[in-house]
Amino acid sequence: MQHSETYKQKLRSPADAVREVRDGDFIVVPTGVGEPPHLLAALSEQRRDFRDVKVGQILAMRKYAYIDPDTVDHVRHVAYFYGGATRAGGQAGWIDFIPNYFSEIPAKIERGLMPADVVFSMASPMDEEGYFSLSLGTDYTMAAVSRARAVVLEVNPNVPFALGNCKVHVSQVAALVESEEPVLEVGLPKIGIVQEAIGKYVADMIDDGSTLQIGYGGIPDAVVMQLTGKHDLGIHTEMIGEGILTLIESGAVTNKRKNYLPGKMVATFALGSSKLYRFMHRNPMLEMHPVSYTNDPFLAGQNDNLVAINATLQIDLLGQCGSESLGSSPFSGTGGQSDFVRAANRSRGGKAFIVLPSTAKGDSISRIVPVLGPGTHVSTSKNDVNYVVTEYGVAQLRGKSAKQRARELIGIAHPAFRAELTEQAKRINLL
Ligand code: COA
């Protein structure tokens, strides 16, 4: 049968397509803007008809009606990483959480450790050979496609057909729906004086020819904006966003000095403007791959001079990074932070940067603390952490003793907290 015939046969309304879901199912949804709004709206609409259905995702973008404490016995969100739409539910306990290294989610799905009965995903229009591109969120979704009983795609002409290992064939699909509105756009985060100062310290330590992973949050993008004068940079990252697009437009990225996939950049999900999404369309310079590939420390670390830039909320005097919670109150997730810290540590000439403003809440709280508060989720361990950067400078920790680390970190704390931190460090025999 012609692929277009198969396509037509599988085309349904969102309300109909949602009937592929059975009670007890676990629906996997891609990261961020790879989420299909019409399917999730239809699921929300029908949620009271289901029992014990779960929806698993990194970084839900919209607060759909199914994200509702009153209907969790029908449909419950399970975060692999919290964002604005899910954080409050996670903190209140009615949204569940699966801790993960981003790189390992596909293997857990493939080995049946994490369920994947149904996939709901955005997709590009189908090509002549019957393939759709899951370009916006390739991540763990490709693994879920290989395991799921039912794959349901929301096909939208504004989703780019990216190259790489991100294609699903129409024969693998149970149902298709169509939508046309623009893909959700996410601009650059707000970059203030502090973020800019941190960005400058990091940018000064990045050599021409380095390969970059740019994390999530204001400071990683503040670094990128200060790299436009560099030469022959490469990209091996998990998220492709507006910062990276700006860098590419500046001519600083050629990818030619990468050891792994020279000439090409790789990423696993996209979060940016319609300009970025257009840039991704059939662009031979870019490949989208599953996160088990982009974030594998052993693969990414084959690039010499791999630079990883990731943000944390707090750090203790040993260098343990509490990047994803404030005490026991969850904030985000590990994402690819530890994957890329370890990748950069493996890379010849690699540099792993953990970045943070020295204070929070109008300078009333030091983010450099003697010990992390009870219940804090440690994202990057003391054994992996290397460069830590605040607006007061750079601490280099790898290979340093506990006492040296405490001195280095107090040296980049806000001056108003240095005496108190020194006092507390003495009290716990760190100094
Ligand atoms: N005490 C109280 N509040 C604190 C705090 C502390 N110690 N540290 C931070 N906060 C508050 C900030 O004031 C801010 O609040 P506001 O929004 O009201 O101003 C909020 O927490 C977020 O802090 P901020 O530094 O602005 O975070 P960010 O937007 O730069 O994001 C994360 C940082 C969430 C991305 C990062 O910590 C994270 O999740 N890291 C792990 C994942 C990761 O690195 N992935 C990389 C690959 S995608």
The predicted pLDDT at position 282 comes to 98
Looking at the structure, tell me whether residues 126 and 216 fall in a common domain: no
Looking at the structure, tell me whether residues 166 and 228 fall in a common domain: no
Could you read off the pLDDT of 250-273 as tens digits, one per residue? 999 999 999 999 999 999 999 999
98 pLDDT tier (thresholds 50, 70, 90): very high
pLDDT (average), residues 123-127: 98
pLDDT (average), residues 146-166: 98
Residue where a domain terminates, one of 123, 153, 178 = 178
Nearest atom (ligand 1) to Cα of 360: 13
Looking at the structure, tell me whether residues 66 and 199 fall in a common domain: no
For residue 267, being part of any structural domain is answered with yes
Q: Which of 140, 126, 135, 138 is nearest to 171 (CA)?
A: 126
**DSSP label at residue 392:** T
Looking at the structure, tell me whether residues 201 and 164 fall in a common domain: no
155 pLDDT exceeds 70?
yes
Closest Cα to atom 43 of ligand 1:
337
Q: 81 C-alpha vs ligand 1 centroid, how far in Å? A: 13
Residue where a domain terminates, one of 155, 178, 201 = 178
Q: 331 C-alpha vs ligand 1 centroid, how far in Å? A: 8
Q: 319 C-alpha vs ligand 1 centroid, how far in Å? A: 17
Q: Which of 102, 216, 307 to mutate to test the pocket of ligand 1 (most atoms within 8 A of CB)?
A: 216
Question: In degrees rounded to 5, what are phi and psi of residue 184?
Answer: -50, 135
Q: Which of 86, 236, 313, 377 to mutate to test the pocket of ligand 1 (most atoms within 8 A of CB)?
A: 313
Cα dihedral 430, 376, 59, 390 sign: negative
The Cα 257–Cα 305 span in angstroms is 10
The predicted pLDDT at position 1 comes to 65
Looking at the structure, tell me whether residues 165 and 296 fall in a common domain: no
CB hemisphere CA count around 102 (13 angstroms): 36
Residues with CB under 6 A from ligand 1: 215-219, 238-239, 310-314, 323-324, 326, 331-332, 334-337, 360-361, 365, 367, 379
Looking at the structure, tell me whether residues 168 and 212 fall in a common domain: no
For residue 188, being part of any structural domain is answered with no
Could you read off the pLDDT of 317-362 as tens digits, one per residue? 999 999 999 999 999 999 999 999 999 999 999 999 999 999 999 9
116 pLDDT tier (thresholds 50, 70, 90): very high
Looking at the structure, tell me whether residues 174 and 200 fall in a common domain: no
The predicted pLDDT at position 366 comes to 98
For residue 252, being part of any structural domain is answered with yes
For residue 209, being part of any structural domain is answered with yes
For residue 250, being part of any structural domain is answered with yes
The predicted pLDDT at position 255 comes to 97
For residue 150, being part of any structural domain is answered with yes
Looking at the structure, tell me whether residues 253 and 337 fall in a common domain: yes
* DSSP string covering 231-298: -SBEEB-SEEEHHHHHHHHHT-B--TT-SSSTT-EEESEEES-HHHHHHHTT-TTEEE--HHHHT-HH
Structure-block tokens of residue 178: 């169509």
Looking at the structure, tell me whether residues 252 and 165 fall in a common domain: no
> Residue 341 belongs to a domain with what CATH number?
3.40.1080.20
Containing 418, the helix (H) or strand (E) segment is helix 415-427
For residue 64, being part of any structural domain is answered with yes
Q: 323 C-alpha vs ligand 1 centroid, how far in Å? A: 7
Q: Which of 20, 104, 238, 287 is catalytic?
A: 238
Q: 195 C-alpha vs ligand 1 centroid, how far in Å? A: 12
Rounded percentage of the chain residues whose pLDDT exceeds 70: 100
> Residue 133 belongs to a domain with what CATH number?
3.40.1080.10
Domain that holds residue 61: 3-178
107 pLDDT exceeds 80?
yes
The Cα 121–Cα 140 span in angstroms is 11
189 pLDDT exceeds 90?
no
Residue where a domain terminates, one of 119, 152, 178 = 178
Looking at the structure, tell me whether residues 213 and 70 fall in a common domain: no
Looking at the structure, tell me whether residues 230 and 162 fall in a common domain: no
Looking only at the bridges linking them, the beta strands covering 286-288 and 163-164 are parallel
Examine the residue annotation and report whether 238 is marked as an active-site residue of this protein. Answer: yes
For residue 183, being part of any structural domain is answered with no
Closest Cα to atom 34 of ligand 1:
332
Total domains in the fold of the chain: 2
35: Cβ contacts below 8 Å, ≥ 6 apart:
29, 57, 60, 61, 62, 120, 121, 122, 137
Q: How many CB atoms lie within 10 A of CB 206?
A: 19
pLDDT (average), residues 235-249: 95
Looking at the structure, tell me whether residues 9 and 112 fall in a common domain: yes
Q: Are 235 and 246 in contact (CB under 8 A)?
A: no
